[in-house]
A and B are shown apart, each in its own frame.
Chain A
Amino acid sequence: MASLAKSRDFHRLSPVWNVTFNLIAGLFSLACVFPFLFVMILSFTDEKTLARNGYSLFPEKWSLAAYEYIFKAGDQLLRSYGVTIFVTVVGTALSLIFISLFAYAISRRSFKYRTYFAFFAFFTMLFNGGLVPTYIVTTKMLGLQNSIWALILPLTVNAFYIMIMRTFFSTMIPDAIIESGKIDGAGEFGIFFRLVVPLALPGLATIALFSTLGYWNDWFNALLYIEDPSIVPLQSMLMRIENSMQFILQNTNNPSLGMGVLQSMPQDTSRMAMVVLATGPIVLAYPFFQRYFIQGLTVGAVKE
């Protein structure tokens, strides 16, 4: 970075252009973050103020009521949080295992059928059966309607990630390592788990992050397959409360809360508070992980 800064010095932009460039990038960057800040302000606004003045950046009266209500009445939020965490953890683990094993095998020159299996995966990037047949297979044949596996399995494998990992294995893992494992008498699985996986951790981390993000943000599979409120994930819950606040009371175990609570509930601000609670973890975490995403995006853009 130091050498870069130095080499930039002697062909710097003129000050006017530098300010212009800063403004362009800075304003767009602000525009990207602004809606989140706006929704956050709305979630801390007093419901009556909001009803009177509409959505405002500078509310007359602040309030924590939305968050208080959510934690008092919103068993559904906790429930959905749990579902999303479970789906994300199990799904990402399965993804990593399925993808890395397959990618490793097709990256090995000693595997006789590697080209067949590489094509088997690659072809799914070119052609697919479409939504309706996929839906019918998933519900009628695999019987996953209203099952938590309908949130996990459809996203487990992805030919694109397999191609990324194959490139990673074939460029980053020296053959000598594998040969040394063979000489030591290790089996193929032993070589993979003890020698290859530790070396492949940066690549695996990238896939794990993409996968985590995919599961955390998924609502489409819930829209297709899930009706049972007890296994509705976070994003899907946000979709449903858009239509009815009733939804967040469906799972409540507190008998003293009923329709009365629903009426007195700060509806608009609670919705916004849920948006904040659902996106919070990602917004806080992504700045620390973004370089892995960039790595993955750039590796993915360069073919083998």
Chain B
Amino acid sequence: MKALGRHLKDINRNKAMLLMVLPASLWFICFSYLPMLGTIISFKEYRFSGSFLSSIINSKWVGFDNFKFLFRTDDAYIITRNTILYNAVFIFIGLVLAVAMAIVLSEIANKRLAKWYQTGMFMPYFLSWVIVGYFVYSFLSYDRGMINKIAVALGADPTQWYSEPKYWPLIIVLVFLWKSLGYNSVIYLAAIMGIDKSLYEAAMIDGANKWQQIRNITLPMLTPLMTILTLLAIGRIFYADFGLFYQVTRDSGTLYSVTNVIDTYVYRGLKTTGEIGMSTAAGLYQSFVGFVLVITSNSIVRRFNKDNALF
């Protein structure tokens, strides 16, 4: 009784703060925690009946059947392979090019020009994938696109870009880099600008040339940021950018072998093929592996350097 009284007193004392966290907490319950609870339907044969909760409760329990069906198909392998390989390439090439571009921008003598370059390469970050899809189409359209026009002018045959899977791994990587490189390099550039200039002056006095300065000052100073951003990205290696794989490819069915990723698979299961059980199972598989990856990569980094860890 006394404990309860103390709790009530605590709640009363904190009531203004509790009121402040209330709206966002309700949001988290509706849009994060209830869906987490809803993952139960991946162990059920989902039938819609009445309300959300009663459909979950009344659907038949099937254990791991949905997962068994999912992993028996080729799809499970293809979507996992595509998601991980694309993301691994994005992370690696993205990191190298972003740091390189940031160094390039920081070394350009004319600061006003550098600012213009930076503004230009930041633009794709602000455009939606729908718009990017249009841009890509203006290059790859079979009868009107710029690439086929150039090919024909040079005497080659036009290509049906949207039905030739072999070109798409390259196209997707290029489009990804085009959209993300600018803003990633802007982040590293901000970090480079924050490096203490006296370090470079001391290196100059010791006779270090430009490349030695970059290798021995700039890169080591960027390492914590590179670690954190890469860690964040590895934690999300199981999540693909839906827009990139859906809009830019114009949802072309013949390309699925190289463009189907976990996110597009789950979406199609929900909206086109109606395989709710398998689709939810794939979603839970994604969340679960993603969760394990974040925790693991974080604890690895923690072991090396506590300050670089996320939590």
Contacts and interface: CB of A to CB of B under 8 A. Distances in A.
Interface of A: 1, 3-5, 7-8, 10-13, 17-18, 21-22, 24-26, 28-33, 35-36, 38-39, 42, 50, 54-57, 97-99, 101-102, 104-106, 108, 110-114, 117, 120-122, 124, 126-138, 140-142, 153-154, 156-157, 159, 162, 187-189, 192, 213, 217-220, 224, 235-236, 238-239, 242, 268, 271-272, 275, 278-279, 282-283, 286-287, 290, 293-294, 297-298, 301-303
A179 to B, nearest CB: 16
Nearest to B263: A131
B60 interface: no
B20 A157 contact: no
A76 to B, nearest CB: 15
Contact of A108 (B17, B119, B123): B17
Contacts of B109: 8, 12-13, 18
A166 B52 CA distance: 34
Interface stretch (B70-78, B80-88, B165-173, B279-287): B279-287
> What 9 pairs between A and B have smallest CB-CB spacing?
A130-B283, A129-B35, A133-B38, A29-B120, A188-B16, A35-B135, A217-B128, A141-B52, A102-B24
A153 B26 CA distance: 11
B99 interface: no
A26 B107 CA distance: 13
Chain A contact surface mostly: helix
A238 B238 CA distance: 29
B106 to A, nearest CB: 9
Please indicate which of the listed interface residues A39, A55, A189 has the most CB atoms of chain B within 10 Å of its own CB.
A55
A187 B138 CA distance: 58
Interface string B207-241: 00010010000000000010011000000000000
Contacts of B148: 54
Contacts of B311: 122, 303
Interface string B234-276: 0000000011000100100000000000010011011100001
A130 B287 contact: yes
Given A42-B138, A132-B269, A153 B27 contact: yes
B279 A132 contact: yes
Contacts of A287: 119
A140 B41 CA distance: 14
A54 B144 contact: yes
B14 A112 contact: yes
B111 interface: yes
Contacts of A120: 25, 28
A54 B149 contact: yes
Contact of B117 (A7, A29, A142, A301): A29
A302 B190 CA distance: 12
A67 to B, nearest CB: 17
Given A128-B32, A301-B225, A140 B213 contact: no
B131 interface: yes
B134 A238 contact: yes
Please indicate which of the listed interface residues A25, A102, A302 has the most CB atoms of chain B within 10 Å of its own CB.
A25
